[in-house]
Amino acid sequence: MIRFILLISLSSLLLAQYSNCKFKNKNYEDVCKRSLKKGVSINYVNEFLLSTKTKKLDEKSFRLFSPKKIALHRKNEKRANNVLVKYVPKIITHVKKYKDVYDKAEAEFGVNREIVAAILMKETKLGLIKPSFDAFEVFNTLVVKLDIKTKRDKWLMSMGKSNMVSIISYCYNKSISPNSCNLASSYAGAVGIPQFMPSSFIYAVPYESKIPDLTNIQDAIMSASNYLNKKSKFNKLIDWDKIPDMPIVEEQWYDYDFEHKHSSFVYAKSKRSGKKYDCFACEKPKLQYLRRYAKKIMSYNNSSNYAIGVMRLAYDTHIGLEK
């Protein structure tokens, strides 16, 4: 009798039909409605938001989103940049190995191979670093646990919901069941070799296949190139003869950043918040060409240290390829 009742209950659950976006969590209602606008079926999005996926909260990733942890990460970025310089020979070998892919990417998107390879090295060491978090769990945890008190909290909530919608839409279009929608990610929810946020999956493009795979190095090269092309209008190859000696510029920038609490390599003022910065390159005519491309790289990661680190790796890689 008990077995019969369980079978009936399970059958009812499997055949459940949903007609609205009613949830106890109002943020889930927003995620549901936005998913519907992306073409996800009402049944699928309800099944997803009622699945066991939503019961898994990632406390570790949530702690890593704290302002103190983010500040520490940015502080350590300089050290990471310095460490990665020793991997330039590996970047050169990688670029030569995938010459045909980079030829196609440069011709199609106008983004230098050295820049893309440097980004992929910084993100996952060209795919060697394997993410250990789950993207949906990361963003679901933010949406469930955030107590909105600051502008930053509002931004994190908005970001969390947008990426939940993108993941639900992605798995729906691939006919993946909610409980099988597992996307390995960083603690911040970034996926694949190029570390795309789910909301950036629209920039993923394949090299040869019909469907892009961000865990495939060839597709990662094409996708990162497409992202920079579309997101920051990076469509003209850097003339390396116009780039100053990057080891010297990098060292000068780090000294400047250490001496100024609110510094930026490229900006004097934030367009979004209006916050003013001590701008390193703004009044230096010889750095304007570099500054233009550093801005484009910051569309990938909005950090001056990140952009300068990428430029340094790319500069050294270019010199190595020219030998």
Q: Mind listing the pLDDT tens digit for each residue in 125-153? A: 999 999 999 999 999 999 999 999 999 99
Q: How large is the average pLDDT for residues 12-20?
A: 63
Strand pairing class (133-134; 184-185): antiparallel
0.85 surpassed by pTM: yes
Q: How large is the average pLDDT for residues 216-232?
A: 98
Q: State the pLDDT at residue 18.
A: 87
Per-residue pLDDT band at 229 (split at 50, 70, 90) = very high
- The CATH number fitting domain 26-67+132-190, selected from 3.90.320, 2.30.30, 1.10.8, 3.30.70: 1.10.8
Burial 77-92 (b: 16+ CB within 10 A, else e): bbeebeebeebbebbb
Rounded CA gap, 231 and 210, in Å?
Answer: 22
Q: How large is the average pLDDT for residues 79-101?
A: 92
* Residue-wise pLDDT tens digits, 39-89: 999 999 999 999 999 999 999 999 988 877 766 666 666 667 778 999 999
Q: How large is the average pLDDT for residues 163-178?
A: 96
Q: State the pLDDT at residue 73.
A: 65
pLDDT of 180 strictly over 50: yes
Residue 149 corresponds to which tokens in the numbers above?
């008190």
Rounded CA gap, 166 and 162, in Å?
Answer: 6
Q: State the pLDDT at residue 13.
A: 42
Rounded CA gap, 224 and 152, in Å?
Answer: 27
Residue 53 DSSP code:
G
Q: What is the rounded end-to-end Cα distance, in angstroms, of the chain?
A: 79
Conformation bin of residue 270: beta by default, left when phi > 0, alpha when psi is -120 to 50: beta
Positive or negative: CA dihedral 182, 186, 192, 195: positive
Rounded CA gap, 32 and 54, in Å?
Answer: 13
In sequence order, what are the residues at sequence separation of 6 or more whose Cβ sits closer than 8 angstroms to the Cβ of residue 5? Answer: none
Residue 107 phi, psi (nearest 5): -65, -35
Q: State the pLDDT at residue 305.
A: 94
13-27, 107-121, 123-137, 268-282 — which is least confidently predicted?
Answer: 13-27
Higher pLDDT, 68 or 225: 225
Rounded CA gap, 90 and 96, in Å?
Answer: 10
29: exposed, middle or buried (Cβ count in 10 Å: 0-12, 13-18, 19+): middle
Higher pLDDT, 81 or 207: 207
The domain locations on the chain are 26-67+132-190, 86-130+231-322
Mean pLDDT rounded to a whole number for the chain: 92
DSSP per-residue string spanning 186-237: -TT--BTTTTB-GGGGGG---SSSSS--TTSHHHHHHHHHHHHHHHH---S-
Residue 245 corresponds to which tokens in the numbers above?
């000696």
The amino acid at residue 166 is: S
Per-residue pLDDT band at 6 (split at 50, 70, 90) = very low
Residues of the chain above pLDDT 70, percent: 92
Per-residue pLDDT band at 11 (split at 50, 70, 90) = very low
Residue (of 167, 157, 152, 137) closest to 30 by Cα position: 157
Instruction: Give the C-alpha distances (Å, rounded to integers) separating 295 from 49, 147, 264.
Output: 38, 33, 11
Q: ∠ CA 86-312-186 to the nearest 5 degrees?
A: 75
Rounded CA gap, 156 and 160, in Å?
Answer: 6
Q: State the pLDDT at residue 74.
A: 65
pLDDT of 14 strictly over 70: no
Rounded CA gap, 176 and 189, in Å?
Answer: 19
pLDDT of 5 strictly over 60: no
Q: Up-side HSE of residue 23: CA atoms within 13 Å toward CB?
A: 20
What is the CATH topology of the domain spanning 86-130+231-322? Lysozyme (1.10.530)
Q: State the pLDDT at residue 78.
A: 66
pLDDT of 4 strictly over 70: no
Q: State the pLDDT at residue 264.
A: 97
7-11, 82-86, 196-200 — which is least confidently predicted?
Answer: 7-11
